[in-house]
Every structure is written in structure tokens, then in C-alpha cells.
Chain A
Amino acid sequence: MFGYVRPLKPELKVLEYEQYKACYCALCHCLGECYGLFSRAFLSYDFVFLAMLLWEDSRPVEYKREACVTNPFKKCPSCTRNELFELCAGYSVILTYWKLRDSASDDAFGKAAASGVSAALLKGAYRKAAGRYAEFDELVRANLDELAALESANEPSIDKAADRFAALLAGAAAHIKDEARSRVISQLLYHTGRWIYISDAVNDIKKDCERQNYNPIALKFGITDGVLSENTAAELKLTLTHSLNDISAAFSLMPENPWHGILKNIIYLGMPEVTRQVFAGEYEDIDYRLHIKK
């Protein structure tokens, strides 16, 4: 996806930071083992969040030391692989593949070619993941198709466009058996998807206006120079605040799992901080990567 869902690193405990890295490493190992080296290049923070969110409260976290692809001589802590990591890795491959296919047909020539090549390289991994998680694959494809149709029709409703991406992400909770749990996580993911989509549209508005790409914010508010007026920014911040509140309200209804501290950091601090950065135009500038070094 996009990597917008991330913790506010300075507010993580040292222990939590190590745990976060171990979770990231587990997903990366899972991708490598199940879907090949290339699929690892597309792992984003959003899927670490997904793995932590879908983690059942009774499931313990186990750690082991494993050699890393970036430095095979040093072993570092990683969570033990389980079917939840496999599911998140599979979802990551499916979503990445369709996003790449999408940009191969949309973007400017150079980038489209690069996306096309990447999608071709990922095809084998995608087939494997889609075979295993056919329902999610179908859902992603259907929603991205509808989104593409809205884009080519120049749909000016921000909510209508965001709804397709949000529904796609909410689908990641569809496999949960317990009805209440499924409802809570699905609502949380819906608003996470809405927040990601709108934040991304704010972040890209300048670029989209220059290249005349589809951007629902530009269409709705008639923006051609890529600059948000104060009123427009306030209105968008308001709408994002509502989604962040819905995420918090859903999160309050989840029992605490082993990742609770990190999830609290991401939801109450990380996401509001990313919102602030996106509007301040600092999102690309601040190096908030976690420096996952070995």
C-alpha cells in the first residue's frame, strides 16, 4: 500500500521498537520464503499494522534469531512464523500486484513501464497468493476496478472514491469468524483505508495537478495549481479527524493483545502525526523510516 500507517518512533518504548522490528522481520521472512525474494521489496508498514491488529488476544508472541537478507552474517530477533503472518504476506502480495497493474496502465510512460515490469516479475508470487486467498484477491480486484472506473469518469466525490479503497481494506477482516470482532476490525480498517486514501490524495495533489492525474480533491475544490486553500485544508482535516475518531472508537472495543502498546502508539500518535505532516508538506521530507538495520 502506501506505508502511511506507522508508529511515532520517539514515543515507542525501546522494547516496543525491538518488537516492532521483529514483527516486520517476520513478515519479510514470510514473504521471502513463500513468495520469493522480489516480493520483499514491497513490504510496507501498513501490513505490520494489519498483522498486529488481526492478532488474537490469546495468541502468544514467540521470538527467535534469524539471519537477514540484507546482512546474512548477523542474526536478529524475528517473530516466529505463523499462519497470520502468512496471511498478511499473501495479502501484501495481492494488493501490491494489483496496484502495480493499475499504475502500469495509468501513470506517465516511464513509471508505467517500471510498474509493468515489476508486476510481471511479481506474477508468480501473485498466482500463489491468489490461489491461497482467492476471496481477498477477488475483493481487491473488484474494488480496484470500480475505483479505476470512478477515476476515468473524473468522479469529484472524495468519499465515493475513498469508499472503494476503504471497503477493500475492510475486506481483510472478512475471514474472522467471531461476528462482533469481525465488525469492530472491519470498521477500524474501513476508516484506516479512508484515511490512507484521502491522506494520499492530499500528499499527491501538487504532483497530480502538474501531470493532470486524477485527484478527487483537486476535482471537488477546483484546484489546478496543487495548492490547498486554508478553508479546503480545514475541511479535509475535519473529515480525517472524524475517521481517526472512528478508528479510536473501534479500537476501544478490542480486547488487549500482545501488541496493544504499539497499536496505541500508531493509532493515537502515529496516524495523527502523519496527518499533520501531510498537510504541512513535510511528509516526504522527514525521514521517518524506522531504519530497520541489522
Chain B
Amino acid sequence: MKDPYSVLGVSPNASDEDIKKAYRELARKYHPDNYHDNPLADLAQEKMKDINEAYDAITKQRSGTSYSGAGGAYGSSYSGGSGYSGHTDFAAVRDALNRGDISRAEQLLDSASNRNAEWHFLMGSVYYRKGWYNEAHDMYRRAVSMDPGNAEYLQALNYMERGGQAYRPAGYNQSAGLDACAICSILMCMKMCCNCR
């Protein structure tokens, strides 16, 4: 087994507080929400498992007693994407999507003649998995307009329109930063104040 301290990127002398902090940051980084229907979700899930095990091992070691899975709080919701189930005209397509066999799902949809709301939703899911987000958006919109009451289609469209999400380390948040012009003008002001060149 890997050294749990190096998995969390902390020194073996680190305080409990620092270890918790490092663990939380990594759990935030590899959180399943950042890998929603992402082709790399399995790799993120492995990382999550490693850090959960490392955190558990350290807490166990330090408390000296048997300790039961404090880290388990994170990462339990990796369930292979959204899961495609429910009443369906396209069972084989949903099956292929659940297996991650995108080209098979696409093939089946291409040859289907019944292009109803569900067809558009599933085609949207195929495009989403391929990273063809503009086409996915169009398909989800079509599905929702054809069957406005369907919660599954609406959820997919809403998720799409929120722009997804990704981990950014502290200090690299776009909205929190100054824009480039502000930085430039600050730099120019500073240059005027201090006489150095």
C-alpha cells in the first residue's frame, strides 16, 4: 500500500488539522460532481478511493483505536454517471450508455426511425459524452420542448445550462480575480510611484 501521508501530500509530522485540510482539498478536487458523465470519471474515482483510504489509515493510526471510515463521507456518490433507466423505447441504447459504449449507442440511435423526445434526449447524452456540447444542448432542448413534463430531460438541460463544474485551486477563481485591465492600470500606477526602471 502507498504511504498514506504521501497520498495526501503532507508530512508525517503534520497536525491533525493540516491533514484534515489536505484531505478536504483533495476530496474537493476529485469530487464526482467534477466528473459528471466525464470519460475520465473512473480515474477520478480511483484517486478518491486512494485518498479516502489514506485518510482512514492515518486517523486510525493516530487515534490508536479502531476507527470506522470518517473519509467515507466523500466519494460515495460515484455511481457511474447519471444512470439511464426508467420507462423506455430505447432499452438497448440506455444499456449501451450505462456501459459507456458510446459508439454503440450512437449507432443504434442513427438507425432508429422513432425520433421522439426520448430519442433526442438520448442523442443529447451521446453528444454530451463525446464532448460535443453544442449539439448536446440542441438535443436536450428539443427533447424538453417535445415533452416538457419529463423530469429526466429537464434535469439534463438544466445541468447543461449551468455550465457544468470543475475544480479550481484557491486563488485561481475567475470571478474573484481582477481583470487584466485593472491589473495593468495598477501596474502602471505603481510604476509611476516608484522611480525605478
Which positions in A face B, CB cutoff 8 Å?
Answer: 8, 10-11, 157-160, 163, 166, 180, 183-184, 187, 190-191, 194, 235-236, 238-239, 241-246, 248-250, 252-253, 264, 268-269, 272-273, 276, 286
Contacts and interface: CB of A to CB of B under 8 A. Distances in A.
Given A8-B180, A194-B131, A250-B40, A245 B164 contact: yes
B35 to A, nearest CB: 6
Contacts, number: 94
Nearest to A183: B40
B165 A245 contact: yes
Interface stretch (B16-24, B58-66, B110-118, B166-174): B166-174
B40 A10 contact: no
B22 to A, nearest CB: 14
Contact of A190 (B44, B131, B135, B166): B131
Contacts of B39: 183, 187
A160 B132 CA distance: 8
Interface of B: 29-30, 34-35, 38-40, 43-44, 47, 127, 130-135, 137, 160-161, 163-169, 172, 174, 177, 179-180, 183-184, 187
A229 to B, nearest CB: 16
B161 A238 contact: yes
Nearest to A234: B161
Contacts of A241: 163-164
A238 B131 contact: no
Given A159-B134, A246-B166, A252-B30, 16 more contacts: A10-B184, A11-B177, A163-B130, A163-B132, A180-B43, A191-B131, A238-B163, A245-B34, A246-B131, A249-B167, A252-B44, A252-B167, A253-B44, A269-B172, A272-B174, A286-B180
29 contacts: A157-B135, A159-B132, A159-B135, A160-B132, A194-B131, A235-B137, A236-B134, A238-B133, A238-B161, A242-B164, A243-B131, A245-B164, A246-B131, A246-B166, A248-B166, A249-B34, A249-B40, A249-B44, A249-B167, A250-B40, A252-B29, A252-B44, A253-B44, A253-B47, A268-B172, A268-B174, A269-B172, A269-B177, A273-B180
Contacts of A158: 134-135
Contact of B127 (A159, A190, A253): A159
B137 A239 contact: yes
A205 to B, nearest CB: 15
A235 B134 contact: yes
Contact of B40 (A239, A242, A253): A253
B187 A10 contact: yes
A58 to B, nearest CB: 15
A252 B131 CA distance: 18
A245 B165 CA distance: 6
B17 to A, nearest CB: 23
A245 B187 CA distance: 30
Closest 9 CB pairs of A and B: A159-B132, A245-B166, A268-B172, A248-B166, A242-B133, A10-B183, A241-B163, A239-B133, A239-B134
Contacts of A246: 38, 131, 166
Contact of A184 (B43, B167, B187): B43
Contacts of A11: 177, 183
Q: Tell which of A180, A190, A248 has the most Cβ of chain B within 10 Å.
A: A248
Contacts of A157: 134-135
Contacts of A8: 180
Contacts of B127: 159
